[in-house]
Amino acid sequence: MKRANRRMWSVLTAAAVLTFTAACDNGDKTEQAEIAAELRALRATLQSASTPAPRQTAPDRAALVQALAPLQEALQALANDQRQLAARQIGLTQELQRWTQLVASQATSGTQAELQALTKRLQGLEEAMTAQQAQHAEAEAMVRKALDHTADQLETFLLRLEGASPPIDGDAPGKETPAQPGKEQPGKESAGDATGNAPAAGAAATGGDGAPKRGATGAWLALLLAAFATAGWLWWRRPSPSTRRRLLVDESVGMDEGVEQIWAAAELLGEAVGRLRTPEQVIEPSPARAADESIAVADALGLDDRVFEDTVVEEFVPPAAAPGPAAQSPAETLPGPVASSPAPGQHGVVGPESALFVVPLPFGDQTRAVRALQDVISRDPRVLRRPAPEVVVSAGRAAVRCCLLPTLPPGERSHLEQRLRDAVA
């Protein structure tokens, strides 16, 4: 647009200049014709310059649209998110309304009484807790007061002890301090008078009133030092916490009965506090507890202790010949007559009692006959299921090889064979 305006201005300026020169110069017609031709040419140029202008804006718009395309997509995505959020908010609002209605309906129904009761119960518990806290605070205050009182009494006692002791401070009588001018020291007057600038030496030399007082002070000082030394020695020789209990037990022989009771009560109290402080632990089942449970089962079933003791489980040592498998081997611990009569080379267990029954098969469908044999032999409790019985058909006869229960009477064995024969008959 600016370029077009600029061209238009330049054309108008040129036209004005030409008009002005034409007006100023009244030349011949040829010049006018030239001017007119130039004007036409300028008009044509202007027309040609004004027509391509809209053509140039079209690519800019397309580029603008292309440049704004990502922004448009983002705006569309944002609008979609907004719509989804609005939908979710509406859903949540509806759900909240439903919950509110549900709570209101429940509160208004029969549970309102329960809620009130629970609220009252909660209030009662809070009040009880507050009262307990007040009691605890009161007890703590009482203990603190007792401790303060005890400390005061101890301090008073110590002060009294110091007061009863010989004076060692500067204000004590007979204290030999450097001479202080302008301060009266009544106990020092005579000595000062007698000895001049050396009262202590004079007192020591004269052996006047200062000599026994200084001796008593030294004695008290020695006594105090001895007490401190004894206390320090006792502190250094104090037993470790681990041995305190043992020493307590050892020393309790010579203790007073009341002291023993106090210490026992303190011990119990300490244990109780420790038990309360330790977190609850999972109690692993102990053999004794397990035995108690089994006894409880026996008691519940009406079986007396004698019965249970008779069948108490004992540690069983597996046979040495049997290899210890890594997998479960439950029957390894199973005692039995077979395991107790070992045969050489078979892990201490004799082989099963095998039997071979030869059953003649009828003419016709031998497959059905074999199936009947297998059916009988698989259901008969006298036949072991492992090793699995085998039925082999050969030359019109079936050979049934199986293992039987040990100690099977011959009659039972014969009966089994007859059952097989009857099955295929």
Partner 1 sequence: MSSPDSLALSSPLLRPERGGSTRVRVGRFELVLEAVRGGHSLLWGDGREARRFALGLGDIGQLSLQLEPPAWPCRVVVRETLVLAPGARVRGYVQLPLVPVVVGHRANGQDLRLLELANADLGGEWDERFGTTFRVASSWHVRFPMPTGEARATVPLTLFNDAAEMFAPADLPVQLLRQDLFVRRSSIVAAPRRLRWSGQSWNGTPRRRAEVNG
Residues of this chain that interact with partner 1 (CB under 8 A) are 284-285, 290-291, 293-294, 297-298, 301-303, 307-308, 310-311, 313-316, 318, 322, 324-326, 328-340, 346-347, 349-352, 379-387, 403, 405-407
Minimum CB distance to partner 1 smaller for 27 or for 387: 387
The strand order across the sheet containing 397-404 reads 353-360, 397-404, 390-394
Pick 109 or 286: Cβ nearer partner 1:
286
Nearest distance from residue 377's CB to partner 1, in Å? 13
Give the nearest distance from C-beta 362 to partner 1 in angstroms.
Answer: 23
Closest approach of partner 1 to the CB of residue 407, in Å: 8
CB of 309 to partner 1, least distance (A): 9
Give whole-number Cα distances, 252 to 174, 240, 258, in Å. Answer: 49, 17, 11
Nearer to partner 1, 186 or 302 (CB): 302
Q: Please, what is the minimum distance in Å from the beta carbon of residue 274 to partner 1?
A: 25
* Of 276 and 300, CB closest to partner 1: 300
- Cα 127 from Cα 120, distance rounded (Å): 10
Minimum CB separation of residue 408 from partner 1 in Å reads 10
* 86 or 405: CB nearest partner 1: 405
Question: Which of 181, 411 has the CB closer to partner 1?
Answer: 411
Q: Tell me how far, at minimum, the Cβ of 280 lies from partner 1, in Å.
A: 17
Whole-angstrom distance, CA of residue 49 vs CA of residue 4: 7
Whether the CA torsion 200, 205, 210, 212 is positive or negative: it is positive
Question: What is the closest distance, in whole angstroms, from the C-beta atom of residue 327 to partner 1 in the complex?
Answer: 8
Q: Which is nearer to partner 1, 99 or 316 (CB)?
A: 316
* Torsion angles phi and psi, residue 409, rounded to 5: -65, 155
Burial class (CB in 10 A: 0-12, 13-18, 19+), 18: middle
Cα distances (angstroms) measured from residue 329 to each of 235, 333, 336, 338, 344: 64, 8, 15, 17, 21
Q: Report the residue number, 187 or 352, with the smaller CB distance to partner 1.
A: 352
- Taking the least distance from each CB to partner 1, the nearer of 42 and 424 is 424
For the CB of residue 287, give the shortest distance to partner 1 in the complex, in Å.
8
Q: Sign of the CA dihedral 30, 35, 41, 43?
A: negative
Neighbours of 203 (CB within 10 A): 23
**Residue 306 amino acid letter:** R
Contact between 42 and 11 under an 8 Å Cβ cutoff? The reply is yes
Cβ-based nearer residue to partner 1, 220 or 308: 308
* Cβ burial 253-266 (10 Å sphere, 16+ → b, else e): eeeeeeeeeebeee
What is residue 383's three-state secondary structure?
Answer: strand
The CA distance from 276 to 140, in Å, is 19
* Minimum CB–partner distance for residue 328 and partner 1 (Å): 6
Q: How far is CA 87 from CA 80, 83, 379, in A?
A: 10, 6, 69
Phi, psi of 404 (to 5 degrees): -110, 160
* Rounded least distance, CB 283 to partner 1, Å: 11
DSSP letter string, 25-90: ----HHHHHHHHHHHHHHHHHHHHHHSHHHHHHHHHHHHHHHHHHHHHHHHHHHHHHHHHHHHHHH
Task: Please say which residue, 112 or 418, places its beta carbon nearer to partner 1.
Answer: 418
Q: What are phi and psi of 318, to 5 degrees?
A: -60, 155
